[in-house]
Amino acid sequence: MTNLLLFFAFLLGTIMGSFLNCLAWRLYHDQSMAGRSKCPHCHKQIAWYDNIPLLSFIILRGQCRHCRQAIAWQYPLMELACGLLFFGVMAQALSAANLATTAWALALARDWVLVGVMATVFLMDLKWYVILDEISLPAAGFFLIMNLLLGATWQNLLLAAVIGAGFFALQFFVSRGRWIGGGDIRLGLVMGLALADWQKLLAALFIAYFLGAAVGLILLASGKKSWGSRLPLGVFLAIGTIIVLFWGKEIIAWYINSFSAGALF
């Protein structure tokens, strides 16, 4: 049964990854979600059997059936990543004590949506340097409602939301919008409302900035970026949030332990 649920989660994740690839592309290009997908090169409609997550890319050997144009690696990678993330969320849910209750199902749905939102933020910020409100604002509302239903107190939610949005709003105002985009402020709000815990939020922000600085230094050293160039911060915030979703408790416990052990000396 466990294996079946994990397999189902992986499958659902690859389907969501395929959907989110499409959603990201259409949102960015301001197109409606109606209508079938087309090859961006030859504009031929993609048949359902050429649109199966992961499998079609393998069967078609990464090329459009009609024009043989290479399909971007982004498509199967996003499908695989979402498959693995959905699998991970299910694995975590299966280790919970209160299996298959309403609260359990709600938390599972919340975390699936969270990894989906963060995968989309990662993809769009990496590719186009945008974090769209069409994603952030509905996500913020969804996580607020879900966490209230799951028994988070409004005080904790408010605190996390204010810290998340405020952290970026402060940088936005200090730098007059040069360091940070408005999209980062809304993403900070999403992170606060989704994690619903100021400690987890701070952990996610710290991981994001640490990774961003590390990658930034590597890019500088290799001459791929200069001091003036922008890094897509949303990419690192998405990674930080996902790491905290899976290992937040352990990271916070480790931090508190090392801190209190240090205080003894």
Would you tell me which residues interact with Zn ion (CB under 5 A)? 39, 41-42, 64, 66-67, 69
Instruction: Provide, rounded to whole angstroms, the least separation between the CB of residue 242 and Zn ion.
Output: 33
Question: How far is 149 from 18, CA to CA, in rounded Å?
Answer: 29
Strand partners, 45: 38
| Closer by beta carbon to Zn ion, 64 or else 78 | 64
Other CB atoms within a 10 A radius of the CB of residue 235 amount to: 23
Instruction: Provide, rounded to whole angstroms, the least separation between the CB of residue 43 and Zn ion.
Output: 7
| Closer by beta carbon to Zn ion, 50 or else 125 | 50
| Closer by beta carbon to Zn ion, 68 or else 249 | 68
CA atoms within 13 A on the CB side of 60: 25
Q: Which helix (H) or strand (E) holds 234?
A: helix 233-263
Instruction: Provide, rounded to whole angstroms, the least separation between the CB of residue 29 and Zn ion.
Output: 17
| Closer by beta carbon to Zn ion, 69 or else 153 | 69
| Closer by beta carbon to Zn ion, 39 or else 219 | 39
3-class SS of residue 154: helix
Instruction: Provide, rounded to whole angstroms, the least separation between the CB of residue 51 and Zn ion.
Output: 13
Find the radius of gyration of the CA atoms of the chain: 20
Query: What are 65-74's contacts with CB under 8 Å, separation 24+?
Result: 66/39, 66/42, 67/39, 67/41, 67/42, 69/39, 69/41, 69/42, 74/21, 74/123, 74/127
Query: What are 97-103's contacts with CB under 8 Å, separation 24+?
Result: 103/150, 103/151
Instruction: Provide, rounded to whole angstroms, the least separation between the CB of residue 64 and Zn ion.
Output: 3
